[in-house]
Structure 1
Amino acid sequence: MMAAEYHFAKGMIKPVAALAVVAMAVGLSYLQKLGLEREMVYSIFRAFLQLSVIGFVLQFIFSRQSVAWIFLAYIFMVCIAGHTAGQRAKHVPNGKYIAGASIFAGTSVTMLALVLLHVFPFTPRYIIPVAGMMIGNSMTVTGVAMKRLRDDIKSQINRVETALALGATPEQAIMQQVKSALVIGLSPVLDNAKTVGLITLPGAMSGLIMGGASPLQAIQIQIVVMNMLVGASTLSSITSTYLTQPGFFTYAHQLRVSVFSSD
Protein backbone atom coordinates (compact mmCIF):
# COMPACT_ATOMS: atom_id res chain seq x y z
CA MET A 1 0.00 0.00 0.00
CA MET A 2 2.87 2.38 0.84
CA ALA A 3 4.45 1.68 -2.54
CA ALA A 4 1.21 2.50 -4.33
CA GLU A 5 0.90 5.77 -2.41
CA TYR A 6 4.52 6.66 -3.25
CA HIS A 7 4.03 6.03 -6.95
CA PHE A 8 0.79 8.03 -6.83
CA ALA A 9 2.51 10.99 -5.19
CA LYS A 10 5.38 10.83 -7.66
CA GLY A 11 3.02 10.55 -10.60
CA MET A 12 1.10 13.66 -9.51
CA ILE A 13 4.06 15.91 -10.34
CA LYS A 14 3.00 16.21 -13.99
CA PRO A 15 -0.70 16.88 -13.27
CA VAL A 16 0.31 19.57 -10.80
CA ALA A 17 2.68 21.10 -13.36
CA ALA A 18 -0.17 21.15 -15.87
CA LEU A 19 -2.01 23.56 -13.56
CA ALA A 20 0.02 26.27 -15.33
CA VAL A 21 -2.44 25.93 -18.21
CA VAL A 22 -5.36 26.45 -15.82
CA ALA A 23 -3.62 29.52 -14.41
CA MET A 24 -3.43 30.87 -17.96
CA ALA A 25 -7.17 30.27 -18.43
CA VAL A 26 -7.95 31.98 -15.12
CA GLY A 27 -5.78 34.94 -16.12
CA LEU A 28 -7.52 35.26 -19.48
CA SER A 29 -10.91 35.09 -17.80
CA TYR A 30 -9.88 37.89 -15.45
CA LEU A 31 -8.55 40.08 -18.26
CA GLN A 32 -11.70 39.56 -20.31
CA LYS A 33 -13.88 40.18 -17.23
CA LEU A 34 -15.75 36.90 -17.77
CA GLY A 35 -16.21 36.31 -14.05
CA LEU A 36 -15.39 32.60 -14.39
CA GLU A 37 -12.19 32.55 -12.34
CA ARG A 38 -13.76 31.14 -9.17
CA GLU A 39 -15.75 28.53 -11.11
CA MET A 40 -12.63 27.44 -13.02
CA VAL A 41 -10.62 26.98 -9.84
CA TYR A 42 -13.49 25.17 -8.12
CA SER A 43 -14.06 22.87 -11.11
CA ILE A 44 -10.39 21.91 -11.37
CA PHE A 45 -10.10 21.37 -7.61
CA ARG A 46 -13.22 19.22 -7.59
CA ALA A 47 -12.01 17.18 -10.57
CA PHE A 48 -8.62 16.73 -8.90
CA LEU A 49 -10.22 15.57 -5.66
CA GLN A 50 -12.76 13.25 -7.32
CA LEU A 51 -10.21 11.60 -9.60
CA SER A 52 -7.74 11.15 -6.75
CA VAL A 53 -10.36 9.45 -4.59
CA ILE A 54 -11.65 7.26 -7.41
CA GLY A 55 -8.08 6.23 -8.21
CA PHE A 56 -7.64 4.74 -4.74
CA VAL A 57 -11.12 3.20 -4.83
CA LEU A 58 -10.42 1.49 -8.15
CA GLN A 59 -7.05 0.31 -6.89
CA PHE A 60 -8.85 -1.31 -3.96
CA ILE A 61 -11.53 -2.89 -6.17
CA PHE A 62 -9.04 -4.21 -8.72
CA SER A 63 -6.97 -5.84 -5.98
CA ARG A 64 -10.05 -7.70 -4.66
CA GLN A 65 -11.16 -9.19 -8.02
CA SER A 66 -14.68 -9.61 -6.65
CA VAL A 67 -17.85 -9.69 -8.78
CA ALA A 68 -19.77 -8.01 -5.95
CA TRP A 69 -17.62 -4.89 -6.27
CA ILE A 70 -18.38 -4.73 -9.98
CA PHE A 71 -22.11 -4.61 -9.32
CA LEU A 72 -21.76 -2.10 -6.48
CA ALA A 73 -19.66 0.24 -8.63
CA TYR A 74 -22.05 -0.18 -11.56
CA ILE A 75 -25.18 0.57 -9.51
CA PHE A 76 -23.48 3.59 -7.94
CA MET A 77 -22.59 5.02 -11.36
CA VAL A 78 -26.10 4.39 -12.72
CA CYS A 79 -27.68 6.14 -9.72
CA ILE A 80 -25.47 9.21 -10.14
CA ALA A 81 -26.12 9.27 -13.90
CA GLY A 82 -29.87 8.89 -13.43
CA HIS A 83 -29.93 11.76 -10.96
CA THR A 84 -27.90 13.98 -13.31
CA ALA A 85 -29.99 13.17 -16.40
CA GLY A 86 -33.16 13.65 -14.37
CA GLN A 87 -31.96 17.11 -13.35
CA ARG A 88 -31.72 18.06 -17.03
CA ALA A 89 -35.29 16.82 -17.58
CA LYS A 90 -36.56 18.13 -14.26
CA HIS A 91 -40.08 18.87 -15.54
CA VAL A 92 -40.62 15.29 -16.69
CA PRO A 93 -42.67 13.34 -14.10
CA ASN A 94 -40.41 10.90 -12.22
CA GLY A 95 -37.59 11.98 -14.50
CA LYS A 96 -34.75 10.81 -12.27
CA TYR A 97 -36.20 7.32 -11.85
CA ILE A 98 -36.98 7.01 -15.54
CA ALA A 99 -33.50 8.17 -16.49
CA GLY A 100 -31.88 5.74 -14.05
CA ALA A 101 -33.98 2.81 -15.26
CA SER A 102 -33.31 3.68 -18.91
CA ILE A 103 -29.57 3.99 -18.39
CA PHE A 104 -29.53 0.72 -16.49
CA ALA A 105 -31.49 -1.07 -19.22
CA GLY A 106 -29.39 0.25 -22.10
CA THR A 107 -25.98 -0.26 -20.54
CA SER A 108 -26.70 -3.62 -18.88
CA VAL A 109 -28.01 -5.17 -22.10
CA THR A 110 -25.02 -3.86 -24.05
CA MET A 111 -22.58 -5.01 -21.38
CA LEU A 112 -24.14 -8.47 -21.24
CA ALA A 113 -23.82 -8.80 -25.01
CA LEU A 114 -20.14 -7.80 -24.92
CA VAL A 115 -19.39 -10.30 -22.15
CA LEU A 116 -21.29 -13.15 -23.83
CA LEU A 117 -19.46 -12.42 -27.09
CA HIS A 118 -16.15 -12.54 -25.17
CA VAL A 119 -15.26 -9.00 -26.22
CA PHE A 120 -14.36 -8.16 -22.61
CA PRO A 121 -13.66 -10.49 -19.68
CA PHE A 122 -15.95 -10.04 -16.69
CA THR A 123 -13.34 -8.54 -14.37
CA PRO A 124 -13.31 -5.18 -12.55
CA ARG A 125 -10.33 -3.90 -14.57
CA TYR A 126 -12.33 -4.16 -17.80
CA ILE A 127 -15.97 -3.89 -16.82
CA ILE A 128 -15.86 -0.81 -14.60
CA PRO A 129 -14.10 1.52 -17.09
CA VAL A 130 -16.23 0.23 -19.97
CA ALA A 131 -19.42 0.65 -17.94
CA GLY A 132 -18.37 4.18 -16.99
CA MET A 133 -17.99 5.19 -20.64
CA MET A 134 -21.35 3.72 -21.60
CA ILE A 135 -23.16 5.20 -18.61
CA GLY A 136 -21.68 8.66 -19.24
CA ASN A 137 -22.83 8.74 -22.86
CA SER A 138 -26.23 7.22 -22.04
CA MET A 139 -26.70 9.83 -19.31
CA THR A 140 -26.20 12.69 -21.76
CA VAL A 141 -28.37 11.20 -24.50
CA THR A 142 -31.17 10.22 -22.11
CA GLY A 143 -31.33 13.63 -20.45
CA VAL A 144 -31.45 15.44 -23.78
CA ALA A 145 -34.08 13.10 -25.27
CA MET A 146 -36.40 13.36 -22.27
CA LYS A 147 -36.14 17.14 -22.08
CA ARG A 148 -36.56 17.57 -25.83
CA LEU A 149 -39.65 15.33 -25.89
CA ARG A 150 -41.38 17.34 -23.19
CA ASP A 151 -40.40 20.67 -24.79
CA ASP A 152 -41.57 19.58 -28.24
CA ILE A 153 -44.94 18.43 -26.92
CA LYS A 154 -45.33 21.73 -25.08
CA SER A 155 -44.53 23.79 -28.18
CA GLN A 156 -46.92 21.70 -30.31
CA ILE A 157 -49.57 21.07 -27.69
CA ASN A 158 -52.45 22.13 -29.93
CA ARG A 159 -51.41 19.64 -32.60
CA VAL A 160 -51.16 16.84 -30.06
CA GLU A 161 -54.55 17.64 -28.52
CA THR A 162 -56.13 17.76 -31.98
CA ALA A 163 -54.76 14.32 -32.77
CA LEU A 164 -56.15 12.99 -29.49
CA ALA A 165 -59.55 14.55 -30.21
CA LEU A 166 -59.60 12.83 -33.61
CA GLY A 167 -59.15 9.43 -31.95
CA ALA A 168 -55.38 8.96 -31.98
CA THR A 169 -53.81 7.05 -29.12
CA PRO A 170 -51.26 8.90 -26.96
CA GLU A 171 -48.44 7.01 -28.72
CA GLN A 172 -49.75 8.03 -32.14
CA ALA A 173 -50.35 11.64 -31.09
CA ILE A 174 -46.73 12.24 -30.08
CA MET A 175 -45.00 9.93 -32.55
CA GLN A 176 -43.29 12.78 -34.42
CA GLN A 177 -42.14 14.42 -31.19
CA VAL A 178 -40.64 11.14 -30.00
CA LYS A 179 -38.73 10.70 -33.26
CA SER A 180 -37.46 14.28 -33.11
CA ALA A 181 -36.30 13.88 -29.50
CA LEU A 182 -34.43 10.67 -30.31
CA VAL A 183 -32.74 12.19 -33.37
CA ILE A 184 -31.60 15.24 -31.40
CA GLY A 185 -30.41 13.13 -28.47
CA LEU A 186 -28.45 10.63 -30.56
CA SER A 187 -26.97 13.10 -33.07
CA PRO A 188 -23.83 13.95 -31.02
CA VAL A 189 -22.99 10.25 -30.53
CA LEU A 190 -23.47 9.47 -34.21
CA ASP A 191 -21.56 12.59 -35.33
CA ASN A 192 -18.70 11.58 -33.05
CA ALA A 193 -18.67 8.08 -34.55
CA LYS A 194 -18.56 9.51 -38.08
CA THR A 195 -15.63 11.83 -37.36
CA VAL A 196 -13.62 9.73 -34.90
CA GLY A 197 -9.98 9.56 -35.94
CA LEU A 198 -10.41 12.34 -38.50
CA ILE A 199 -10.84 15.28 -36.14
CA THR A 200 -9.94 13.91 -32.71
CA LEU A 201 -8.31 10.87 -31.21
CA PRO A 202 -10.74 9.62 -28.53
CA GLY A 203 -9.70 9.33 -24.90
CA ALA A 204 -9.55 5.54 -24.81
CA MET A 205 -7.36 5.38 -27.90
CA SER A 206 -5.10 8.23 -26.77
CA GLY A 207 -4.72 6.69 -23.32
CA LEU A 208 -3.69 3.34 -24.74
CA ILE A 209 -1.15 4.91 -27.09
CA MET A 210 0.37 7.04 -24.32
CA GLY A 211 0.38 3.94 -22.12
CA GLY A 212 2.61 2.13 -24.61
CA ALA A 213 0.11 0.18 -26.74
CA SER A 214 0.60 0.15 -30.49
CA PRO A 215 -1.75 2.34 -32.57
CA LEU A 216 -3.23 -0.79 -34.16
CA GLN A 217 -4.11 -2.25 -30.76
CA ALA A 218 -5.55 1.09 -29.68
CA ILE A 219 -7.69 1.26 -32.82
CA GLN A 220 -9.15 -2.19 -32.14
CA ILE A 221 -10.23 -1.17 -28.65
CA GLN A 222 -11.57 2.17 -29.85
CA ILE A 223 -13.75 0.50 -32.48
CA VAL A 224 -15.26 -1.68 -29.78
CA VAL A 225 -15.80 1.38 -27.60
CA MET A 226 -17.58 3.31 -30.35
CA ASN A 227 -19.82 0.33 -31.13
CA MET A 228 -20.84 -0.13 -27.52
CA LEU A 229 -21.47 3.61 -27.02
CA VAL A 230 -23.82 3.73 -30.00
CA GLY A 231 -25.65 0.59 -28.84
CA ALA A 232 -26.02 1.63 -25.20
CA SER A 233 -27.02 5.21 -26.03
CA THR A 234 -29.66 4.08 -28.52
CA LEU A 235 -31.19 1.55 -26.14
CA SER A 236 -31.19 3.99 -23.22
CA SER A 237 -32.70 6.89 -25.15
CA ILE A 238 -35.48 4.79 -26.73
CA THR A 239 -36.30 3.25 -23.35
CA SER A 240 -36.45 6.70 -21.74
CA THR A 241 -38.94 8.05 -24.31
CA TYR A 242 -41.22 5.04 -23.88
CA LEU A 243 -41.11 5.27 -20.09
CA THR A 244 -41.65 9.02 -20.18
CA GLN A 245 -44.81 8.99 -22.29
CA PRO A 246 -47.32 7.72 -19.66
CA GLY A 247 -46.48 10.66 -17.39
CA PHE A 248 -47.66 13.11 -20.03
CA PHE A 249 -51.20 11.70 -20.22
CA THR A 250 -54.10 10.99 -17.88
CA TYR A 251 -55.91 7.66 -17.72
CA ALA A 252 -58.51 9.23 -20.03
CA HIS A 253 -55.78 9.77 -22.66
CA GLN A 254 -55.69 13.53 -22.15
CA LEU A 255 -52.56 15.63 -21.79
CA ARG A 256 -51.61 16.49 -18.21
CA VAL A 257 -51.63 20.27 -18.51
CA SER A 258 -49.70 20.65 -15.25
CA VAL A 259 -46.66 18.91 -16.77
CA PHE A 260 -46.39 21.56 -19.47
CA SER A 261 -47.37 24.66 -17.51
CA SER A 262 -43.97 25.22 -15.85
CA ASP A 263 -40.55 26.03 -17.29
Structure 2
Amino acid sequence: MSLFALSMTLIFVAFAIFISIWQKLGLEKDLFIGTVRSAIQLLLVGYVLQYVFQSDNPLIILFILLLMIAVATWNVFRRNKTLKGAAIRIGAALCMTEIITVGLLLVLRIIPFSSTYIIPISGMTIGNSMVVASLYLNQMNREITANHGEVETLLALGAGAKQAIHPLMKRATKSSMIPTIDGMKTVGLVQLPGMMTGMIIAGASPLEAVRYQILIVFAFASSAALTSIMLSMLTYRLWFTKQDSLIKV
Protein backbone atom coordinates (compact mmCIF):
# COMPACT_ATOMS: atom_id res chain seq x y z
CA MET A 1 0.00 0.00 0.00
CA SER A 2 1.39 3.39 -1.01
CA LEU A 3 1.60 6.33 1.40
CA PHE A 4 -0.97 8.17 -0.72
CA ALA A 5 -3.44 5.28 -0.45
CA LEU A 6 -2.76 5.06 3.29
CA SER A 7 -3.39 8.79 3.75
CA MET A 8 -6.73 8.43 1.92
CA THR A 9 -7.96 6.15 4.73
CA LEU A 10 -8.26 9.30 6.86
CA ILE A 11 -11.53 9.85 4.99
CA PHE A 12 -13.10 7.22 7.26
CA VAL A 13 -11.99 9.11 10.37
CA ALA A 14 -13.18 12.41 8.90
CA PHE A 15 -16.57 10.84 8.26
CA ALA A 16 -16.79 9.63 11.87
CA ILE A 17 -15.83 13.09 13.16
CA PHE A 18 -18.44 14.68 10.88
CA ILE A 19 -21.16 12.41 12.30
CA SER A 20 -20.02 13.23 15.84
CA ILE A 21 -20.26 16.98 15.15
CA TRP A 22 -23.58 16.60 13.30
CA GLN A 23 -25.17 14.57 16.09
CA LYS A 24 -23.39 16.56 18.84
CA LEU A 25 -21.88 13.40 20.35
CA GLY A 26 -18.78 15.17 21.64
CA LEU A 27 -16.44 12.46 20.37
CA GLU A 28 -14.37 14.62 18.01
CA LYS A 29 -11.46 15.08 20.42
CA ASP A 30 -11.31 11.38 21.32
CA LEU A 31 -11.49 10.38 17.66
CA PHE A 32 -8.68 12.77 16.74
CA ILE A 33 -6.44 11.69 19.61
CA GLY A 34 -7.20 8.03 18.91
CA THR A 35 -6.32 8.47 15.23
CA VAL A 36 -2.99 10.16 15.96
CA ARG A 37 -2.03 7.75 18.73
CA SER A 38 -2.92 4.62 16.78
CA ALA A 39 -0.96 5.78 13.73
CA ILE A 40 2.15 6.68 15.75
CA GLN A 41 1.98 3.55 17.91
CA LEU A 42 1.56 1.22 14.94
CA LEU A 43 4.38 2.85 12.99
CA LEU A 44 6.72 2.58 15.98
CA VAL A 45 5.71 -1.03 16.56
CA GLY A 46 6.34 -1.76 12.88
CA TYR A 47 9.94 -0.51 13.11
CA VAL A 48 10.54 -2.34 16.42
CA LEU A 49 9.12 -5.64 15.15
CA GLN A 50 11.19 -5.41 11.99
CA TYR A 51 14.31 -5.43 14.18
CA VAL A 52 12.98 -8.08 16.60
CA PHE A 53 11.97 -10.50 13.84
CA GLN A 54 15.47 -10.28 12.39
CA SER A 55 17.28 -10.86 15.72
CA ASP A 56 15.02 -13.50 17.38
CA ASN A 57 16.67 -12.68 20.72
CA PRO A 58 14.77 -14.48 23.56
CA LEU A 59 15.38 -11.59 25.99
CA ILE A 60 13.92 -9.08 23.57
CA ILE A 61 10.92 -11.33 22.98
CA LEU A 62 10.40 -11.62 26.74
CA PHE A 63 10.69 -7.85 27.18
CA ILE A 64 8.06 -7.19 24.50
CA LEU A 65 5.68 -9.74 26.02
CA LEU A 66 6.08 -8.19 29.48
CA LEU A 67 5.49 -4.75 27.99
CA MET A 68 2.29 -5.98 26.32
CA ILE A 69 1.06 -7.46 29.61
CA ALA A 70 1.96 -4.27 31.53
CA VAL A 71 0.05 -2.04 29.09
CA ALA A 72 -2.94 -4.42 29.09
CA THR A 73 -2.90 -4.53 32.91
CA TRP A 74 -2.87 -0.74 33.16
CA ASN A 75 -5.70 -0.41 30.64
CA VAL A 76 -7.90 -2.75 32.71
CA PHE A 77 -6.89 -1.25 36.05
CA ARG A 78 -7.53 2.37 35.08
CA ARG A 79 -11.19 1.45 34.61
CA ASN A 80 -11.28 -0.19 38.06
CA LYS A 81 -9.13 2.11 40.18
CA THR A 82 -11.51 1.84 43.14
CA LEU A 83 -10.40 -1.77 43.69
CA LYS A 84 -7.23 -1.51 45.78
CA GLY A 85 -4.66 -4.12 44.86
CA ALA A 86 -6.40 -5.02 41.61
CA ALA A 87 -3.45 -4.15 39.35
CA ILE A 88 -1.10 -6.89 40.58
CA ARG A 89 -3.90 -9.47 40.40
CA ILE A 90 -4.86 -8.45 36.88
CA GLY A 91 -1.22 -8.65 35.83
CA ALA A 92 -0.84 -12.08 37.46
CA ALA A 93 -3.93 -13.41 35.67
CA LEU A 94 -2.72 -12.11 32.30
CA CYS A 95 0.79 -13.51 32.90
CA MET A 96 -0.51 -16.96 33.81
CA THR A 97 -2.83 -16.98 30.81
CA GLU A 98 0.06 -16.05 28.50
CA ILE A 99 2.41 -18.64 30.00
CA ILE A 100 -0.14 -21.46 29.74
CA THR A 101 -1.42 -20.56 26.26
CA VAL A 102 1.90 -19.89 24.52
CA GLY A 103 3.65 -22.56 26.59
CA LEU A 104 1.27 -25.21 25.28
CA LEU A 105 1.67 -23.97 21.71
CA LEU A 106 5.45 -24.29 22.00
CA VAL A 107 5.55 -27.57 23.95
CA LEU A 108 3.13 -29.24 21.53
CA ARG A 109 5.16 -27.78 18.64
CA ILE A 110 2.10 -26.14 17.13
CA ILE A 111 4.26 -23.08 16.51
CA PRO A 112 8.09 -22.81 16.42
CA PHE A 113 10.08 -20.79 18.93
CA SER A 114 10.29 -17.72 16.73
CA SER A 115 9.40 -14.08 17.37
CA THR A 116 7.51 -14.08 14.06
CA TYR A 117 4.97 -16.47 15.61
CA ILE A 118 5.20 -15.79 19.35
CA ILE A 119 4.76 -12.01 19.36
CA PRO A 120 1.75 -11.70 17.00
CA ILE A 121 -0.10 -14.63 18.60
CA SER A 122 0.72 -13.36 22.10
CA GLY A 123 -0.46 -9.88 21.15
CA MET A 124 -3.83 -11.24 20.05
CA THR A 125 -4.30 -13.51 23.07
CA ILE A 126 -3.22 -10.82 25.56
CA GLY A 127 -5.55 -8.33 23.87
CA ASN A 128 -8.43 -10.78 24.10
CA SER A 129 -7.60 -11.51 27.75
CA MET A 130 -7.49 -7.77 28.46
CA VAL A 131 -11.04 -7.35 27.15
CA VAL A 132 -12.25 -10.36 29.16
CA ALA A 133 -10.61 -9.04 32.35
CA SER A 134 -12.17 -5.61 31.90
CA LEU A 135 -15.61 -7.11 31.23
CA TYR A 136 -15.31 -9.39 34.27
CA LEU A 137 -14.41 -6.61 36.72
CA ASN A 138 -17.03 -4.23 35.34
CA GLN A 139 -19.70 -6.92 35.59
CA MET A 140 -18.62 -7.83 39.12
CA ASN A 141 -18.98 -4.21 40.21
CA ARG A 142 -22.50 -4.16 38.74
CA GLU A 143 -23.35 -7.46 40.40
CA ILE A 144 -22.11 -6.24 43.79
CA THR A 145 -24.14 -3.03 43.47
CA ALA A 146 -27.30 -4.85 42.39
CA ASN A 147 -27.03 -7.71 44.90
CA HIS A 148 -25.45 -5.99 47.90
CA GLY A 149 -28.30 -6.94 50.23
CA GLU A 150 -28.29 -10.58 49.12
CA VAL A 151 -24.56 -10.96 49.82
CA GLU A 152 -24.87 -9.21 53.19
CA THR A 153 -27.69 -11.59 54.14
CA LEU A 154 -25.60 -14.64 53.27
CA LEU A 155 -22.70 -13.27 55.31
CA ALA A 156 -25.04 -12.66 58.27
CA LEU A 157 -26.23 -16.27 58.05
CA GLY A 158 -22.64 -17.51 58.41
CA ALA A 159 -21.50 -17.90 54.81
CA GLY A 160 -17.85 -17.23 54.05
CA ALA A 161 -16.78 -14.43 51.75
CA LYS A 162 -16.18 -16.69 48.75
CA GLN A 163 -19.35 -18.67 49.37
CA ALA A 164 -21.48 -15.52 49.59
CA ILE A 165 -20.08 -13.98 46.43
CA HIS A 166 -19.80 -17.18 44.36
CA PRO A 167 -23.10 -16.79 42.40
CA LEU A 168 -22.01 -13.28 41.39
CA MET A 169 -18.63 -14.56 40.27
CA LYS A 170 -20.29 -17.19 38.09
CA ARG A 171 -22.53 -14.63 36.39
CA ALA A 172 -19.61 -12.22 35.85
CA THR A 173 -17.47 -15.03 34.40
CA LYS A 174 -20.21 -16.03 31.96
CA SER A 175 -20.81 -12.40 30.98
CA SER A 176 -17.10 -11.75 30.33
CA MET A 177 -16.88 -14.72 27.96
CA ILE A 178 -19.97 -13.89 25.86
CA PRO A 179 -18.08 -11.84 23.19
CA THR A 180 -15.51 -14.62 22.73
CA ILE A 181 -18.16 -17.35 22.48
CA ASP A 182 -20.31 -15.29 20.10
CA GLY A 183 -17.22 -14.65 17.98
CA MET A 184 -16.57 -18.41 17.77
CA LYS A 185 -20.14 -19.04 16.64
CA THR A 186 -20.11 -16.43 13.86
CA VAL A 187 -16.50 -16.52 12.62
CA GLY A 188 -16.39 -17.07 8.87
CA LEU A 189 -20.12 -16.38 8.50
CA VAL A 190 -20.52 -12.85 9.87
CA GLN A 191 -16.87 -11.81 10.00
CA LEU A 192 -13.59 -12.71 8.36
CA PRO A 193 -11.04 -12.23 11.17
CA GLY A 194 -8.08 -9.90 10.81
CA MET A 195 -5.34 -12.54 10.84
CA MET A 196 -7.03 -14.62 8.15
CA THR A 197 -7.79 -11.57 6.01
CA GLY A 198 -4.24 -10.26 6.37
CA MET A 199 -2.72 -13.57 5.30
CA ILE A 200 -5.00 -13.80 2.27
CA ILE A 201 -4.19 -10.22 1.22
CA ALA A 202 -0.48 -11.02 1.65
CA GLY A 203 -0.87 -13.89 -0.83
CA ALA A 204 -1.22 -16.93 1.42
CA SER A 205 -3.53 -19.79 0.51
CA PRO A 206 -7.03 -19.31 1.98
CA LEU A 207 -6.86 -22.83 3.45
CA GLU A 208 -3.51 -22.05 5.13
CA ALA A 209 -4.97 -18.80 6.46
CA VAL A 210 -7.99 -20.70 7.80
CA ARG A 211 -5.76 -23.16 9.69
CA TYR A 212 -3.99 -20.34 11.52
CA GLN A 213 -7.28 -18.57 12.19
CA ILE A 214 -8.69 -21.75 13.76
CA LEU A 215 -5.60 -21.82 15.99
CA ILE A 216 -6.30 -18.23 17.09
CA VAL A 217 -10.01 -18.88 17.70
CA PHE A 218 -9.26 -21.88 19.91
CA ALA A 219 -6.50 -19.97 21.72
CA PHE A 220 -8.94 -17.10 22.32
CA ALA A 221 -11.47 -19.48 23.87
CA SER A 222 -8.84 -20.96 26.15
CA SER A 223 -7.33 -17.62 27.16
CA ALA A 224 -10.77 -16.13 27.85
CA ALA A 225 -11.72 -19.00 30.15
CA LEU A 226 -8.34 -18.97 31.91
CA THR A 227 -8.37 -15.20 32.43
CA SER A 228 -11.90 -14.96 33.79
CA ILE A 229 -11.53 -17.96 36.11
CA MET A 230 -8.12 -16.96 37.46
CA LEU A 231 -9.23 -13.35 37.89
CA SER A 232 -12.29 -14.48 39.83
CA MET A 233 -10.08 -16.55 42.15
CA LEU A 234 -7.52 -13.77 42.63
CA THR A 235 -9.83 -10.78 43.04
CA TYR A 236 -12.93 -11.84 45.00
CA ARG A 237 -11.38 -10.67 48.29
CA LEU A 238 -11.10 -7.13 46.91
CA TRP A 239 -14.81 -6.59 47.52
CA PHE A 240 -14.47 -7.46 51.23
CA THR A 241 -12.80 -5.94 54.24
CA LYS A 242 -10.46 -7.94 56.47
CA GLN A 243 -13.48 -8.64 58.68
CA ASP A 244 -15.39 -10.14 55.68
CA SER A 245 -17.74 -7.17 55.40
CA LEU A 246 -18.82 -6.26 51.87
CA ILE A 247 -17.35 -3.07 50.47
CA LYS A 248 -19.74 -0.74 48.69
CA VAL A 249 -18.68 0.12 45.12
TM-score normalised to structure 1 length: 0.89
Structure 2: distance between partners of 1:153 and 1:33: 34
Structure 2: distance between partners of 1:164 and 1:35: 44
Alignment match of 1:96 (pick from 82, 87, 109): 87
Structure 1: distance between partners of 2:43 and 2:69: 20
Structure 2 residue 18 is the aligned partner of structure 1 residue 13: no
Question: Which piece of structure 1 moves more, 141-150 or 47-56?
Answer: 141-150
Partner deviation per Cα, 1:44-79 (whole Å, 9 max, x = no partner): 111111100110011111111111111000000000
Residue in 2 that maps onto 1:3: none
Partner deviation per Cα, 1:69-97 (whole Å, 9 max, x = no partner): 11000000000001111122222221222
Alignment match of 2:99 (pick from 102, 108, 112): 108
Q: Which residues in structure 2 correspond to 1:167-186 (within 5 Å)?
A: 167-186=158-177
Question: Which piece of structure 1 moves more, 238-247 or 91-100?
Answer: 91-100
Q: Is the 8 A contact 2:152 2:246 kept in 1?
A: no
The number of residues matched between the two structures is: 249
Which amino acid is 2:48 matched to? V
Unaligned runs of 5+ in 1: 1-9
Residue in 2 that maps onto 1:212: 203
Residue in 2 that maps onto 1:64: 55
Structure 2 residue 49 is the aligned partner of structure 1 residue 49: no
Residue in 2 that maps onto 1:156: 147
Structure 1: distance between partners of 2:214 and 2:143: 34
Structure 2 residue 242 is the aligned partner of structure 1 residue 255: no
CA drift of 1:36 comes to 2.9
Residue in 2 that maps onto 1:83: 74
Q: Is the 8 A contact 1:93 1:244 kept in 2?
A: no
Structure 1: distance between partners of 2:22 and 2:148: 46
Change (3 A) 1:116 1:182: same
Unaligned runs of 5+ in 2: none
Alignment match of 1:229 (pick from 200, 220, 232): 220
Structure 2: distance between partners of 1:134 and 1:193: 14
SS in 1 for 2:78: helix
Structure 2: distance between partners of 1:21 and 1:246: 45
Question: Which piece of structure 1 moves more, 67-76 or 28-37?
Answer: 28-37
Change (3 A) 1:221 1:150: same
Which amino acid is 1:81 matched to? A
Q: Which residues in structure 2 correspond to 1:112-131 (within 5 Å)?
A: 112-131=103-122
SS in 2 for 1:88: coil
CA drift of 1:250 comes to 3.3
Structure 1: distance between partners of 2:134 and 2:28: 28
SS in 2 for 1:34: coil
Structure 2: distance between partners of 1:60 and 1:115: 22
Which amino acid is 2:181 matched to? L
Q: Is the 8 A contact 2:77 2:86 kept in 1?
A: yes
Q: Is the 8 A contact 1:30 1:37 kept in 2?
A: yes
Structure 2: distance between partners of 1:189 and 1:63: 33
Which amino acid is 1:17 matched to? M
Alignment match of 1:30 (pick from 21, 30, 47): 21
Structure 2: distance between partners of 1:250 and 1:241: 17
Change (3 A) 1:162 1:26: closer
SS in 2 for 1:246: helix
Structure 2: distance between partners of 1:69 and 1:37: 37
